[in-house]
Amino acid sequence: AVATPLLGRLGAAHRRRKVVLSTLTVVALGSVATVVPAPFVVLLLGRAAQGIGLGLTALMMATARQHLRDRAEGTIAMLSVASTVGIGVGYPIASLLVQVWGVRAAYLLGVVVAVAALITAVVALPADSTAAPDKESVDWWG
């Protein structure tokens, strides 16, 4: 509930790549925190860090709209469908992994997906705009 508007505000065109890569790094580190044998609080913090990634969908759609022009509509639709399918397929796969190898195996899949997304973003995301930023600010108290 908090990540999407905050990442949307922070991820303005002139710094979107930085925000996406930073967020994916947090998600990947959170995913690692869920796998390591550590106190329960580490698992909770890892899950919270993974949840921040939910705000990335809006940034990916904004990136597609900005850079793909005539292909943006189809790409945005594909991103929306891929997110929904990923969620729908993720639960049964995670359940199977938990039944066969335990809960850490399901969390390990999260590490693999997060690291793959981070590598893909490093390679594929366009550079941030060098245009002067607008007078954007974040209402941190809000």
- On whether residue 7 sits in a domain, the answer given is yes
Domain presence at residue 132: no
| Number of domains, the chain | 1
Residues 6+ apart with CB under 8 A from 49: 26, 27, 29, 30, 31, 33
Please write the tens of the pLDDT for every residue from 74-133. 888 988 898 888 888 988 999 999 999 999 999 999 999 999 999 999 999 888 877 656
Two tokens, residue 92: 């049964």
How far apart CA 123 and CA 136 sit, in angstroms, is 28
Domain residues for the domain of 105 are 3-124
Please state the pTM of the whole predicted model.
Answer: 0.84
* C-alpha span between 128 and 106 (Å, rounded): 34
Rounded distance, CA 65 to CA 103, Å? 38
71 lies in some domain: yes
